[in-house]
Amino acid sequence: MSETSAELSHIREKLGPKVLDALQAQGDEVLCLDRGGLRASFLVLKEDGALGYDFLSDITAVDYWQKKEPRFEVVYQLVSLGKRRRLRVRVPVPESDPSVESLTPLWRGANFLEREVWDLFGIRFIDHPDLRRVLLYEEFQGFPLRKDYPVNLCQPRVPERKVEGTFVDERSHNKLLRLKKTLGIKI
Amino acid sequence: MKAENPELPVETMELQMGPSHPATHGTIKFNLKLEGEKVLACDVEVGFLHRGFDKSCEQATWTQVIPYTDRLNYASSLINNVGYAMAVEKLIGAQTPPRCQYIRVIISELARIFDHLTCCGMAASELGAITVGFYMIEARELIMRIVENLTGARLTVTYVRIGGVKHDLPEGFADHVTQTFKTIRQLLGDCERLLSRNRIFLDRMSGVGTISRETALSYCLTGPLLRGSGVNYDVRKAFPYLVYDQLDFEVPLGSKGDNYDRFLCRIREIEQSMKIVDQALEKLPVGPVWIDDPRFVLPEKEKVYGSIEGLMHHFKIIMDGIQVPPGETYFAVEGGNGELGFYVVSDGGGKPYRLRVRPPCFIAMGAFHEMIQGYMVADIIPTFGMVNMIGGECDR
Cross-chain residue pair A108–B219, CB shorter than 8 Å:
yes
Domains for chain A: give ranges and CATH numbers. Answer: 6-135 (3.30.460.80)
**Segment holding B332, helix H or strand E:** strand B327-334
Give A21's contacts in chain B (Cβ within 8 Å): none
Cα B149 vs. chain centroid, distance in angstroms? Answer: 21
* A55: closest CA of chain B, how far (Å): 7
pLDDT over 80 (residue B371): yes
pLDDT over 70 (residue A187): no
pLDDT, mean of residues B141-154? 90
Contact status, residue B29 vs residue B48, Cβ threshold 8 Å? yes
Of B327, B356, B363, the CB nearest to A112: B363
Partners of A63 in the β-ladder: A72
Q: Is residue B280 part of a domain?
A: yes
Reduced to 3 states (helix: H, G, I; strand: E, B; else coil), residue A66 is coil
Q: Closest Cα to residue B67, out of B77, B54, B55, B79?
A: B77
pLDDT over 50 (residue B212): yes
Give A77's contacts in chain B (Cβ within 8 Å): 330, 341, 343, 358
Give A107's contacts in chain B (Cβ within 8 Å): 218-220
pLDDT at B26: 77
Q: Is residue B291 part of a domain?
A: yes
The pairing of strands A85-93 and A28-33 is parallel
pLDDT over 90 (residue A158): no
Residue A81 contacts B where some CB pair is shorter than 8 Å: yes
Q: Is residue B30 part of a domain?
A: no
Q: Is residue B2 part of a domain?
A: no
pLDDT over 50 (residue A1): no
pLDDT at A169: 64
The pairing of strands A28-33 and A19-25 is antiparallel
Residue A116 contacts B where some CB pair is shorter than 8 Å: yes
| Share above pLDDT 70 across residues of chain B, in percent, rounded to a whole number | 98
Residues A12 and A18: their CA atoms lie apart, in Å, by: 8
Determine the structural domain holding residue B292 and report its residue range: 53-395
Q: What is the pLDDT of residues A71-108, one digit of tens each?
A: 899 999 999 888 888 889 999 999 888 889 898 988 88
Q: What is the pLDDT of residues B74-87, one digit of tens each?
A: 888 899 999 999 99
Total count of domains within chain B:
1
**Segment holding B355, helix H or strand E:** strand B354-358
Minimum Cα–Cα distance from A80: chain B residue: B238
pLDDT band at residue B139 using 50, 70 and 90 as cut-offs: very high
Cross-chain residue pair A136–B366, CB shorter than 8 Å:
no
Query: How many Å from the N-terminal Cα to the C-terminal Cα in chain B?
Result: 34
Minimum Cα–Cα distance from B91: chain A residue: A26
Determine the Cα angle at A62 with ends A139 and B331, to 5°.
120
Give B332's contacts in chain A (Cβ within 8 Å): 57
Of A27, A112, A133, the CB nearest to B366: A112
Residues B47 and B262: their CA atoms lie apart, in Å, by: 25
- Which of A90, A102, A108, A155 should we substitute to test contact with B (largest number of B Cβ atoms within 10 Å)? A108
Q: What is the pLDDT of residues B173-188, one digit of tens each?
A: 999 999 999 999 999 9
Q: Which residue has the higher pLDDT, A155 or B316?
A: B316
Would you give the DSSP letter of residue B176?
H
Kindly report the average pLDDT of chain B as a whole number.
Answer: 88
Of B47, B52, B238, the CB nearest to A144: B52
pLDDT over 80 (residue B376): yes
Q: What is the pLDDT of residues B11-68, one digit of tens each?
A: 888 888 878 877 777 788 889 888 888 888 888 988 888 888 888 888 888 988 999 9
Contact status, residue B388 vs residue B336, Cβ threshold 8 Å? yes
Q: Is residue B14 part of a domain?
A: no
Q: Is residue B384 part of a domain?
A: yes
Q: Closest Cα to residue A110, out of A33, A10, A43, A21?
A: A43
pLDDT band at residue A40 using 50, 70 and 90 as cut-offs: confident
Rounded to the nearest 10 degrees, the angle between the axes of helix B130-151 and helix B173-195 is 170
Of B52, B231, B363, the CB nearest to A109: B363
A172 contacts: CB under 8 Å, gap ≥ 6: none
Q: Closest Cα to residue B142, out of B119, B109, B176, B98?
A: B176
Residues B59 and B81: their CA atoms lie apart, in Å, by: 18
**Segment holding A59, helix H or strand E:** strand A55-63
pLDDT, mean of residues B191-201? 86
> Is the CA virtual torsion A172, A176, A178, A182 positive or negative?
positive
pLDDT at A166: 66
Q: What is the pLDDT of residues A108-146, one digit of tens each?
A: 889 999 999 999 998 999 888 888 888 888 888 888 888
pLDDT over 70 (residue B6): no
How many contacts does A have with B, using Cβ atoms within 8 A?
97
CATH number for the domain including B119? Answer: 1.10.645.10
Residues A125 and A145: their CA atoms lie apart, in Å, by: 17
